[in-house]
Chains A and B, each alone.
Chain A
Amino acid sequence: MYKPESYEFFCPIKFSSGSRALENIPFELEALSARKPLIITDKNVTRRGLVRKMITAFKDSGVTIGIFDGIPDVPDMQLVTELSNIYRNGEHDAIIALGCGSIVDVAKVVNIAVSYNVKILRDLAGDNLMAHPLGPFVLVPTLTGTGYETSKFTFIEDLTFSSYFLMPDLVVIDSRTVRSESLQTTVATAMVALAHAAEAYTGPGKNPITDAYAYAAIQYVKDNLITVLTKPRNKEGRLALVNAAGMAGCAFSNMKPGLIHILGEAISAMFHIASGICMGILLPYGLEYTIQKNGYHTYDLLLPLSGFDEYAGTAENLKAEKAVNIMYEMQQDLYKVTGKKIPRTLEEANVPKYMVNDIAEKVFKDGAREFGIDDYRMVLEHAWEGKPMAHS
């Protein structure tokens, strides 16, 4: 087993997962000294009946809940100010984000605003600029994650906040709230988790604790994604995928972003494709690059992907290649199972070939200098054509 020379790992999150996990929230809030939470969500979540389920879960607790369900797809700072006023005027003492993506981004920024001061919010954007912990923050994710929900990051407008204080105090994963919205959102949630976990498991920042989180996340995605897509009512499978997203987020908070993440986010921003879909396309190519470049532990990835028997039965020098092949097979399976709705290549995702160079340059200019521009270009070109690097 890999023993790093030195490492650090931090994760303050308590997970509560299961078929009746929502009902634990009042108990856990009391442990966090909170009595009047503000639930932040959007109209879509309300329409799907999840807010009603949340209210039912609070029955018998004697708690008064504030509910704000007006989070738009692209939130702004004005909304943060409005929500901060609601929080203060309503004398709330905890935030519950019900949903994923922009809902969680706004909830995290509102937590900064009410714990500090909304006027100095912009000054706190950046890396580790918050000096003290924030108010109690509970996350109840759906199956529409972006990979950042349990992480130390949040984004609003052009601002990026990064602090361990932004990680939720409690993540409640309940099979009633993790319903699939569409094939695409399910795949995107799972693939961003798989990409983050695979990069944590194979990257240079690898350590025994990120390994534990990443291993479970990889295994959960591999074992459950296709099942959930073919049987969307499979509760255990959905629960496993959202658990994987949560665990991958914790691992991701303790590592430097890898090549797959960096390129995936860039393509997502430039072409408005879900970052999980982009990372799903890039995953095998990024891993092949990792093998070629430094060979960091990619062979170990075979264990969570294939199980003990296949791992033990594969020669050491073939393990990494086999792990990457499983990723390629997974891409093909997703393509077939979703009726060709999930692209396997950047070409299928409608990214123009002439833009490959622009993406590489943009990523490099934006400051992601851990990798060379040629490295970015090479991975992008292969991912555009769908041509494995090992065969080039």
Chain B
Amino acid sequence: MGDYREVQAGSKPFKRAYIAVMLWFVGRAIQAAARVDKAVREEFEKLPEGFTFSLGVQPHGPYMIVGKNQKGRVKYLGWKPESKVVDLRMAIKNIEAALLLFTFQESTAISICRDRIDFDGDLPPALTVIRAIGIVEVYLLPKLISKLAIKRYPVWSFGRKYLGRIRIYFHSILGY
């Protein structure tokens, strides 16, 4: 028995905190973008009313939950998946994979291709959500960084890009 020991795996509080803040902000930004941007609104219109999805880190979070209510409005529903009926779960397999994604070292598409994200739900809504998150990233991030996070940087008008960005940041910070 001298060669045997038990170890309680520790935690990574700073990495968790960073991801939690990012998910919180992206969740609110999705809500804002669905109001401000036509393309994001159209993406969410394809989803059924009451549809809810979560994006989080396995096994203990953090998470963000976003859903479409009965009126068709997209709402950030918080960071606690418990007691919520979630139609699509997108689980990043571990905190290191989440860091690669949220420090934009790896684009969402590459992260999915490298099996870093586990999907539990239907594929068409999952792709809709991924496309919407891609548009949100263009709004939130400077071109230099968002080019790393998405497949192809879009050509947008000045008004759509910069006024949209201001409005989305404004709504995200105020939370409506």
Binding site for B on A (CB under 8 A): 16, 18, 20, 23-24, 26-27, 30, 55, 58-70, 82, 86, 90
10 contacts between A and B (CB under 8 A): A30-B59, A55-B9, A58-B9, A59-B10, A59-B11, A60-B9, A60-B94, A64-B7, A65-B9, A67-B7
Q: Are A20 and B60 in contact (CB under 8 A)?
A: no
Q: Are B2 and A23 in contact (CB under 8 A)?
A: no
Q: Are B11 and A64 in contact (CB under 8 A)?
A: no
Q: Are B4 and A23 in contact (CB under 8 A)?
A: no
Give Cα A30 to B57, complex, Å. 14
Per CB-CB distance, the 10 closest pairs between chain A and chain B, nearest first, are A70-B3, A58-B9, A23-B94, A27-B93, A23-B96, A68-B4, A60-B12, A59-B10, A20-B96, A27-B58
A23, A55, A59, A90: the one contacting B97 at CB < 8 Å is A23
Residues of B within 8 A of A58 (CB): 9
- Complex: chain B residue closest to A85, CB-CB: B1
Say if the beta carbon of B152 comes within 8 Å of chain A. no
Q: A58-B9, A60-B95, A70-B2 are in contact. List 12 more A-B contacts (CB 8 A).
A: A20-B96, A23-B93, A23-B96, A24-B97, A59-B9, A60-B10, A60-B15, A60-B94, A61-B9, A62-B59, A66-B7, A68-B4
Q: Are A64 and B6 in contact (CB under 8 A)?
A: yes
Give Cα A68 to B8, complex, Å. 14
- Complex: chain A residue closest to B92, CB-CB: A27
Say if the beta carbon of B114 comes within 8 Å of chain A. yes
Give Cα A62 to B12, complex, Å. 11
Residues of B within 8 A of A26 (CB): 58-59, 94
- Complex: chain B residue closest to A51, CB-CB: B7
Q: Are A67 and B94 in contact (CB under 8 A)?
A: no
Q: Are A67 and B9 in contact (CB under 8 A)?
A: no
Residues of A within 8 A of B12 (CB): 59-60
Q: Are B3 and A66 in contact (CB under 8 A)?
A: no
Given the contacts A27-B118, A30-B58, A66 and B96 also touching, CB distance less than 8 Å: no
Q: Chain B, 104-127, contact with A by CB distance < 8 Å: what is the 0/1 string? A: 000000000011001000000000
Say if the beta carbon of B16 comes within 8 Å of chain A. yes
Give Cα A82 to B5, complex, Å. 14
Select the residue from A16, A18, A61, A69 with max chain B CB neighbours within 10 A.
A61
User: What total of A-B pairs shows CB separation below 8 Å?
Assistant: 76
Q: Are B59 and A67 in contact (CB under 8 A)?
A: no
Give Cα A51 to B111, complex, Å. 27
- Complex: chain B residue closest to A68, CB-CB: B4
Binding site for A on B (CB under 8 A): 1-12, 15-16, 58-60, 91, 93-97, 100, 114-115, 118
Residues of B within 8 A of A62 (CB): 9, 59-60
Q: Are A24 and B7 in contact (CB under 8 A)?
A: no
Q: Are B4 and A63 in contact (CB under 8 A)?
A: no
Q: Are A55 and B93 in contact (CB under 8 A)?
A: no
- Complex: chain B residue closest to A52, CB-CB: B7
Residues of B within 8 A of A64 (CB): 6-9
Give, as a whole number of angstroms, the nearest-CB distance from B110 to chain A: 12
Give Cα A70 to B1, complex, Å. 9
Residues of A within 8 A of B6 (CB): 64-67, 90
Residues of A within 8 A of B5 (CB): 66-67
Residues of B within 8 A of A86 (CB): 1, 4
- Complex: chain B residue closest to A79, CB-CB: B3
Select the residue from A59, A66, A68 with max chain B CB neighbours within 10 A.
A59
- Complex: chain A residue closest to B57, CB-CB: A60
Q: Are B59 and A65 in contact (CB under 8 A)?
A: no
Q: Are A66 and B4 in contact (CB under 8 A)?
A: yes
Residues of A within 8 A of B8 (CB): 64
Select the residue from A16, A55, A60 with max chain B CB neighbours within 10 A.
A60
Residues of A within 8 A of B91 (CB): 27
A30, A59, A60, A67: the one contacting B4 at CB < 8 Å is A67
B2, B16, B100, B114: the one contacting A60 at CB < 8 Å is B16
Residues of A within 8 A of B9 (CB): 55, 58-65
Residues of A within 8 A of B115 (CB): 16
Give Cα A107 to B60, complex, Å. 29
Give, as a whole number of angstroms, the nearest-CB distance from B10 to chain A: 5
